[in-house]
Amino acid sequence: MDTRTPVLLAWSGGKDSALALDELRRSPLFAPVGLLTTMTEGRDRIHVHGVRRDLLLQQVEALGLPLTAVPLPPGASNAVYQERMAEALAPHRERGIRHVAFGDLFLEDIRQFREQSLAATGLGMEPLFPLWEKPTAELARQFVERGFRALLVAVDAARLAPSFAGRPFDLDLLRDLPEGIDPCGENGEFHTFVTDGPGFSTPVPCTPGPLSADGPYQLCDLLPVPARRTVDT
């Protein structure tokens, strides 16, 4: 019987979430029991990252954890975000879960927003930050060295060339990042989608599709790859 404290993980589908999950699974204190993902209403995609719901579902199935989807309207206000989070978290709190983990790295304003938003739900749940203030260059290398695989699904076109969208997150990409770009994209320079790695029962088959603009971001629409049919002979 697992005696560790159960915790939900805010899950974007990207590398920081995957690293946070890996840290929690290694922890002697906490046991991840579910994932929490914000989805854009009307688009059925991961909020901000723009990844299709069916790829997200394949991802969480490969990780073996249940998913709670939190629908958000485009451009949702903080008040709406807090309201929707409270609705999504309430059933988990009723079954005794008191902690929510986040994959944030060093941005104090984002951490304060998480803490304040969680407190505003009135559920008495506490935030955890398993990656907080770990050096991002080291984390980026660890991500690759641990065997994770990911693709860039969104890049800030003001800071990175659109050609980075769709590229694998690997050592070549880290070498190619311009000076001043955080290796983990913590300042919003880019976002990723993880397709394989520790804890995955199977890779998530997908391929980079067309690029499109969405506000400041250049998005790469990841396309599911259908499973190959075998023909008996």
Give the helix/strand (H/E) hosting 87: helix 78-94
DSSP three-state, residue 110: helix
Angular region, 75: left φ>0, alpha ψ -120 to 50, beta rest: left
Q: Whole-number mean pLDDT of the chain?
A: 94
Domain range for 53 is 5-128
Same domain? For 116 and 152 the reply is: no
In a domain, 233, yes or no: no
Residues contacting 23, CB < 8 A, separation 6+: 130, 131
For position 25, which CATH number holds? 3.40.50.620
CA distance linking residue 148 with residue 141, whole number of Å = 10
In a domain, 91, yes or no: yes
Query: Which of 128, 153, 184 lies at the terminal end of a domain, its last residue?
Result: 128
Give the rounded percent of residues in the chain with a pLDDT score beyond 90.
Answer: 89
pTM of the entire predicted model? 0.94
What's the pLDDT band for 233 if we cut at 50, 70, 90?
very low
Same domain? For 198 and 219 the reply is: yes
CA distance linking residue 194 with residue 174, whole number of Å = 16
Give the rounded percent of residues in the chain with a pLDDT score beyond 70.
Answer: 97
pLDDT digit string (tens) for 60-101? Answer: 999 999 999 999 998 889 889 999 999 999 999 999 999 999
Same domain? For 119 and 142 the reply is: no
